[in-house]
Amino acid sequence: MELDFERCYRAVDSRDQRFDGWFYTGVTSTGIYCRPSCPAITPKRRNVRFFPSAAAAQGAGLRACRRCRPDAAPGSPQWDVRADVVGRAMRLIADGVVDRDGVPGLAARLGYTERHLHRMLRAELGAGPLALARAQRAQTARTLIETTGLGLAEVAFAAGFGSVRQFNDTVRQVYGTVPSQLRTGRGNPPTPGGAGTITLRLAYRPPLHAAALLGFLAARTLPGLDEVHDGTYRRGLRLPHGPAEVALTPTPGYVVATLRLADLRDLAPAVARCRRLFDLDADPEAVDQTLAADPALAGVVAAEPGVRVPRAVDGFEMALRAIVGQQVSLSAARTTLTRLLTHLPRPAPGPGSGSGPGDQEVCVTESASRRRKPLDHPDGAGRCGAAGGDAGAGGWGVWGFPGAEEVLGLPDAAFGMPAARRETIRALARAVAAGEVDLEPGGDRAETVRRLTALPGIGPWTAGYLAMRALGDPDVLLPTDLAVRRGAAALGLPATPTTLDTYADRWRPWRSYAAIRLWRAA
């Protein structure tokens, strides 16, 4: 990735927060790397290098600044915009695929050889997939060190490291200190939610229109799955190693995320999905600048800056919602989905034998630290932290949406919808279960849309809606959507699908954000 030195240096000199996460500033005279907005004295030009990723800066031998915390900066918005292999790879790495399946698993998901994938990532980001995943593990480890009372050996395996030694070496290189020093002086106060709860801040680029985001989600909540109350969105999650519960509260400058995890290895995937749900890595100023250039949208953009696209934590859940919502009102779709959920099994709690998700079991000790897989873990993948236990009695308040296999096991009577729509859901569930349709953000957007529209009962509207919310495509309009057309008419825009679609070319590449504003105008 080419970084223009003059433009980057001007951003650093002005401490422009908009560029946090876009690039990182390396200072060769001090051996540290920073956010562009770091409040420290602007370094001299001859001592500055710019890096496209934190992993590239770490690979150059630099450590993270302790003042501006570059590891906690918002993610680069280009991974939301870009649908190419590098963008897909970054989304999958953020979701923990390398930690779970290794580089071979990542390459297989993307359909490339490991060597070619490494070459592409090095060219774009200055670091390969292992280095990028390592940088993420270091950030996860720091979060666990500073927000939990887990032993450092437990933190090492929960963050995805293969050994305590590897963990110590990485923390020392990235942060310039040993792990125990990151905890010194913090006292490890208990978090309000109990021993199994982690609370952290999710940074974003302002502005963020929280009311629009929460209002959109509140209109679509389902009992037992999610809810909005007193400015907080709360929902259940299905994560790779077990269920989880999250509460997200937008505040100025960051979103407070309170997580209860059945397995602490799921911290990084949980954070990635929460960021994706609230669209926290977007560049709202770039979006609003493009949309405000249209006089028809200038007023609503000025009145409500920072409107985001609410996305999804579970692609299959979003697909089921979209199919059920075809040609019916929002309230009717919620009724049908609520009835369907009553027939679906709740996901099993995470592996382990605790009395509830708030219990923390010591499952890794120093004597076992040389092992890649703790002895007591049934799949040998390095579990530690909160045990799942009897979630039905132990206190999960909300649950993640069941998967495709559970939906395939339902009898006809459970669906409560026309036979054709019921068969559409089953066809989709079979395709997802077989791996023929990938509804996660790392999937190929164009190929996924093509495979979706090949299924019976899924047309351009449903596929486009899923591209927008499940796959994260920022440039989907949905011109045939009734509410989009009503919003367009309310703003004096063309309201027929063909004319609106043609007119909307001026909103590229942010037509998904325009669609949200048209929905609000309706």
The pLDDT-based confidence of 299 (bands split at 50, 70, 90) is: very high
Q: Of residues 8, 20, 34, 359, which has the active-site annotation?
A: 34
Task: Kindly list the domain boundaries of the chain, sorted by start residue.
Answer: 5-64, 77-182, 197-279, 315-345+400-521
Residue 273 has pLDDT above 60, yes or no: yes
With cut-offs at 50, 70 and 90, classify the pLDDT of residue 387. Answer: very low
Residues in contact with 98: Cβ distance below 8 Å, sequence separation at least 6, in sequence order: 92, 105, 106, 129, 130, 132, 133
- CATH code for the domain defined by 77-182: 1.10.10.60
pLDDT of residue 192: 47
What would the two tokens of residue 247 be? Answer: 């509460």
Q: What is the pLDDT of residue 419?
A: 93
Q: Distance between CA 16 and CA 19 in Å, rounded?
A: 6
- Mean predicted lDDT score pLDDT of the chain: 87
Q: Is the pLDDT of residue 63 over 80?
A: yes
Q: Are strands 385-386 and 360-361 parallel, antiparallel or unpaired?
A: antiparallel
Q: Supply 472's token pair.
A: 């994260």
Look at the block and give the residue holding tokens 């433009």: 7
Report residue 345's pLDDT band, with 50, 70 and 90 as the boundaries. confident
pLDDT cut 90: percent of the chain above it: 75
481 flagged as catalytic: yes
Secondary structure of the chain: what % helix, strand, coil (to 5)?
50, 10, 40
pLDDT at 364 over 60: no
Q: State mean pLDDT over 497-509.
A: 97
The whole-angstrom separation of Cα 437 and Cα 426 is 13
Q: What is the pLDDT of residue 76?
A: 86
Which CATH number, 1.10.340.30, 3.40.47.10, 1.20.120.790, 2.102.10.10, labels domain 315-345+400-521?
1.10.340.30
> Can you tell me the mean pLDDT for 432-450?
94
pLDDT band for position 37 (50/70/90)? very high
Q: Could you tell me the pTM of the whole model?
A: 0.86
For residues 149 and 189, what is the distance between their CA atoms, to the nearest angstrom? 8
Is the CB of residue 122 less than 8 Å from the CB of residue 128?
Answer: yes
Peptide bond into 190 cis (omega under 30): no
The candidate with the shortest Cα–Cα distance to 358, out of 514, 149, 128, 123, is 149
Catalytic residue among 95, 226, 279, 481: 481
- The CATH classification number of 197-279 equals 3.30.310.20
Mean pLDDT of 78-97: 88
DSSP annotation of 368? G
On the question of pLDDT at 499 being above 70, the answer is yes
Report the C-alpha gap between 324 and 345 in whole angstroms: 19
Least confident of 84-98, 335-349, 485-499: 335-349
Say if CB 448 and CB 471 are below 8 A apart: yes
Output the pLDDT for position 377: 32
Q: Domain 5-64 is classified in which CATH homologous superfamily? A: DNA Methylphosphotriester Repair Domain (3.40.10.10)
| pLDDT of the residue at 396 | 54
Q: Are 315 and 431 in contact (CB under 8 A)?
A: no
| pLDDT tens digits, 205-239 | 999 999 999 999 999 999 999 999 999 999 999 99
Tokens of 269: 């995937």
CA neighbours within 13 Å on the CB side: how many for 297? 28
